[in-house]
Amino acid sequence: MGMYWKFGKTYKGKVEHEMVKAAIAVMAEAADTANHAERVIYAKSILDGSYNREMLYIGYATNSTIKANHEADTDYTSDLAYVATTLFNAFAGVSL
Please list the alpha-helical segments (H only) found in the chain: 9-28, 36-47, 53-61, 64-71, 77-92
Which pTM value belongs to this model?
Answer: 0.84
Asked if 66 and 20 touch (Cβ cutoff 8 Å), the reply is no
CB 15 within 8 A of CB 60: yes
State the number of CA atoms in the 13 A half-sphere of 35 facing the CB.
14
10: confidence class by pLDDT, cuts 50, 70, 90: confident
The per-residue pLDDT for range 28-51, each reduced to its tens digit, is 999 999 999 999 999 999 999 999
CA 23/CA 35 separation, integer angstroms: 14
CA 74 from chain center: how many Å? 19
Distance CA 95, CA 47 (A): 22
